[in-house]
């Protein structure tokens, strides 16, 4: 598949997630061997989330990070999950209800036009979704706009391994094995073929750090996970 950009990319990604929503969590666990949960726990520790904090989870998908934020802050009313896939939001809603977190706010909307006023949240997060947005810089600017001065925007995303041999093995798995696992477990091949394609054109961790600065962050912290398979980027908004 040729690389797609802009509105075409947004429409294609929307179709992908609408069709895999019900099996998304199963595939995440299978494809990452469950390590994505560890990555999220590490990210939460790096963020320093406190009880009573507020947060917006952008492109929240099926709500795993939204749930983690609500539990950590003990402030479900102050936690929002936003996604442009209604099917993913339906799955997230069911999970929140099972966890007794029905007061968490789920919002249908775009990462490029967040429907919130400026300086509202302590944190804005985006997990495993930044590579799917049509305009990374604009998404980060929107996240920065809605956090308070001194607040943080946080990305947990797949990245490119830094060890050459490991990188070669990783990309072989991602490009050749992952799509077939998607077909076996979800009967979706093209949708899971999209995932390695989306990573191929995504900035590496250093390039993404620079994009955070270009978006207006005062300070950016970058952490590599599992040899660079994933990366955490935490940008701080300038204080008044």
pLDDT digits (tens, 9 = 90+) for 46-64: 999 999 999 999 999 999 9
For residue 4, what are its two tokens? 């797609």
Asked whether 188 and 182 are in contact (CB, 8 A), the reply is yes
Mean pLDDT score of the chain, rounded to an integer?
85
Tell whether the model's pLDDT for residue 189 goes beyond 70. no
For residue 202, what are its two tokens? 């995504």
Instruction: Tell the burial category of 7 from Cβ atoms under 10 Å away from its Cβ (0-12, 13-18, 19+).
Output: exposed
For residue 29, what are its two tokens? 């666990």
Strand 230-236 and strand 147-158: pairing? antiparallel
Residue 124: CB atoms within 10 A of its CB come to 31
Task: Name the band, by pLDDT with cuts 50, 70 and 90, for residue 141.
Answer: very high
Tell whether the model's pLDDT for residue 208 goes beyond 70. yes
- What's the average model confidence in pLDDT over 144-171? 87
pLDDT at 9: 62
Percent residues over pLDDT 70 in the chain = 76
Q: How many helices (H) and strands (E) would you count in the chain? A: 10, 7
pLDDT at 227: 87
Asked whether 233 and 154 are in contact (CB, 8 A), the reply is yes
Q: Averaging pLDDT over each range in 138-142, 157-161, 189-193, which range is the top one?
A: 138-142
CA distance 35 to 38: 5
Tell whether the model's pLDDT for residue 163 goes beyond 60. yes
Task: Give alpha helix (H) positions in the chain.
Answer: 6-20, 24-32, 35-47, 64-73, 86-98, 136-146, 164-172, 178-186, 190-200, 205-215
- What's the average model confidence in pLDDT over 213-232? 95
Asked whether 60 and 111 are in contact (CB, 8 A), the reply is no
pLDDT at 165: 74
Residue 51: CB atoms within 10 A of its CB come to 8
CA distance 25 to 12: 20
Does residue 7 or residue 79 have the better pLDDT? 79
Instruction: Supply the pTM of this predicted model.
Output: 0.85
Tell whether the model's pLDDT for residue 204 goes beyond 60. yes
pLDDT at 39: 94
Task: Name the band, by pLDDT with cuts 50, 70 and 90, for residue 231.
Answer: very high
CA distance 83 to 10: 12
Angle at 161 between CA 207 and CA 135, to 5 degrees: 35
Percent residues over pLDDT 90 in the chain = 61
Does residue 95 or residue 24 have the better pLDDT? 95
- What's the average model confidence in pLDDT over 80-85? 96
Q: Which of 89-98, 131-140, 163-172 has the lowest mean pLDDT?
A: 163-172
For residue 164, what are its two tokens? 């050459």
């Amino acid at each position: 598949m040729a690389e797609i950009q802009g509105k075409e990319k947004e429409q294609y990604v929307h179709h992908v997630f609408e069709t895999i929503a019900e099996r998304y969590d199963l595939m995440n666990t299978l494809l990452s061997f469950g390590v994505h949960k560890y990555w999220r726990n590490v990210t939460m520790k790096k963020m320093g989330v406190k009880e009573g904090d507020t947060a917006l989870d952008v492109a929240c998908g099926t709500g795993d990070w939204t749930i983690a934020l609500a539990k950590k802050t003990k402030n479900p009313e102050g936690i929002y999950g936003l996604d442009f896939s209604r099917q993913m939001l339906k799955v997230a809603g069911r999970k929140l209800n099972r966890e007794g977190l029905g007061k968490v706010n789920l919002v249908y909307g775009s990462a490029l036009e967040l429907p919130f006023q400026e300086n509202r949240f302590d944190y804005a997060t985006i997990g495993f979704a930044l590579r799917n947005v049509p305009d990374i810089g604009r998404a980060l600017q929107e996240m920065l706009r809605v956090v308070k001065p001194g607040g943080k925007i946080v990305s947990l995303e797949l990245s490119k391994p830094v060890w050459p041999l490991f990188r070669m093995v990783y990309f072989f798995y991602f490009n050749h094995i992952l799509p077939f696992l998607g077909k076996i477990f979800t009967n979706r091949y093209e949708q899971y073929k999209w995932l390695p394609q989306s990573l191929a054109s995504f900035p590496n961790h250093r390039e993404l750090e620079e994009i955070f600065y270009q978006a207006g962050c005062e300070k950016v912290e970058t952490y590599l996970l599992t040899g660079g398979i994933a990366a955490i980027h935490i940008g701080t908004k300038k204080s008044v």
